[in-house]
Amino acid sequence: MFFLTCQICKKTYAPNTLQWCCSCGGLFDLVFEGELRVDALADRPPTLWRYREAIPIADDAHIASFDEGFTPLTPVTIAGKSLLVKQDHLFPSGSYKDRGATVLISQAKALGVQHMVEDSSGNAGAAIAAYAARAGIACDIYVPDSTSPAKLAQIQSYGARLYKIPGAREDTARAVQGAARKHFYASHVWNPFFFHGTKTLAYEIWEQRGFNAPDTLIIPTGNGTLLIGAYIGFTDLLRQNLIDHLPKLIAVQSANCAPLMPNWHGNPSETIAEGIAIAEPARAAQMLRYIDQTGGDVLTVEDDETRHAQKQMAEMGFYIEPTSATAIAAYMKYPAQNDEVAVAPLTGHGLKSGKK
């Protein structure tokens, strides 16, 4: 049994509600204790659906999937320090957002949705459009008009209708919320089913490390869909005594747009890290609570540091987009302990970003 609950008034809703937020305006969380079946894993295909009992989709017939996930966890040396990179840029749509999209679109299929809308800085829109195509659901994607051309082309190729909105990312969010009065809002920020897909990052890292948690996770963070997902996943593992500690969650933001920093002045400026240029993240308080609870931190990087990190990764053969390189840039100046096991997800493919 699982249900939705409002973060503000605590009212509960059945998981088949078509509302995207509580009647009081509050964000939904999904109350669901995913079960990890360690004994069953050896015989299952290498996809994120191998954690079937931990994913809140009741009926297999509703699953919209490309057999995605179980991306490689690969050791590299960065600035003289060891780092494990989780190669989520290798997902079908080229970013980790597919983790959330496969679960969210499966839920939309379960609800019988025929037409959905979504807003994004590009990658979530591409993921939602890909899975909507897979599921045969019409979709409209709203993006800021400054979004990288490769992401726009990708969204349109999947057959989604594209709306380019002038102004900041928040203007795009406002535009889609008008459309959400008519159609299902497949929001990766508001719909908690998305987080119950991104949480599989934690399960995979744990399994690939021989059923151990790393010490530290370094995550590019805007709306926090990967950070919150990682927290949910590792919390599931801790609750079932499958790990003995939660990894420290380190959120990485652009110095030009860092609303999670305590002394943030509130005036965002342009950054090459377009995926995390979120000036007013709806789940900021939730993210800060999780960062605090894991003994984590918020780090910022300048665009020049990001460019340098992106180039370093490319010279080692990893082609990632600037938003993804922020985590590498942060790790370069992170004071890692000698035996600290740190993981950085490579969140988006380099082919998505033109030169800027």
Find which of ligand PLP, Zn ion, none residue 6 binds, CB within 5 to 8 Å per kind: Zn ion
106 contacts ligand PLP (rule: CB under 6 A): no
Examine residue 92 and tell whether it contacts ligand PLP (CB under 6 A): no
Can you tell me which of 4, 6, 76, 84 binds Zn ion, judged by CB under 5 A? Answer: 6
Q: Encoding tokens for residue 41?
A: 């894993």
Q: What's the rounded Cα separation, in Å, for the pair 217 and 340? A: 11
What residues does 159 pair with on adjacent strands? none
Residues 6 or more apart whose CB falls under 8 angstroms from that of 241 comprise none
Please state, in angstroms and rounded to a whole number, the distance separating the CA atoms of residues 206 and 137. 34
Among Zn ion, ligand PLP, none, partner that 323 touches (CB below 5 to 8 angstroms by kind): ligand PLP
Closer residue to Zn ion (CB): 11 or 44: 11
Shortest distance, position 20 Cβ to Zn ion, whole Å: 12
Total binding residues toward ligand PLP, as defined by CB under 6 A: 19
Stretch that binds Zn ion, among 3-11, 65-73, 209-217, 338-346 (CB under 5 A): 3-11
Beta bridge partners of 251: 219, 298
With binding defined as CB under 5 A, does residue 19 bind Zn ion? no
Q: Which amino acid is at 163?
A: Y
Amino acid in position 182:
K
Residues 275-294 that bind ligand PLP (CB under 6 A): 275-276, 278
- Decide: is 222 part of the binding site for ligand PLP (CB under 6 A): yes
143 in Cβ contact with 173 (< 8 Å): no
Residue labelled with tokens 């590792």: 234
Q: Count CB atoms within 10 A of the CB of residue 240.
A: 14
Residues 6+ apart with CB under 8 A from 87: 71, 72, 73, 74, 318, 346
121 binds ligand PLP (CB under 6 A): yes
Binding of residue 271 to ligand PLP (CB under 6 A) = no
Confirm or reject binding of residue 26 to Zn ion (CB under 5 A): yes
Tell me which H or E stretch contains 142.
Answer: strand 138-144
Structure tokens at 332: 């370069």
Q: Which of 65, 93, 106, 123 binds ligand PLP (CB under 6 A)?
A: 123
d(CA 174, CA 153): 23
Q: Does residue 229 interact with ligand PLP by CB under 6 A?
A: no
Which entry of Zn ion, ligand PLP, none binds 233, CB below 5 to 8 A by partner kind?
none
- Cβ contact 349:322 at 8 Å: no
- Shortest separation between residue 73's beta carbon and ligand PLP, angstroms: 17
Counting contacts by CB under 6 A, is residue 148 touching ligand PLP?
no
Q: Does 22 bind Zn ion (CB under 5 A)?
A: yes
Q: Supply the minimum distance, in Å, between the C-beta of residue 321 and ligand PLP.
A: 5
Residue 296 binds which entry of ligand PLP, Zn ion, none, with Cβ cut-offs from 5 to 8 Å by kind? none
Q: Which two tokens stand for residue 136?
A: 């045969």
Question: Pick from ligand PLP, Zn ion, none: which does 347 bind, CB < 5 to 8 A by kind?
Answer: ligand PLP
Please state, in angstroms and as integers, the Cα–Cα distance from residue 341 to each residue in 53, 76, 161, 170, following that order.
28, 12, 43, 36
Q: Which residues bind Zn ion (CB under 5 A)?
A: 6, 8-9, 11, 22, 24, 26
Q: Which residues bind ligand PLP (CB under 6 A)?
A: 95, 121, 123-124, 220-226, 275-276, 278, 321, 323-324, 347-348
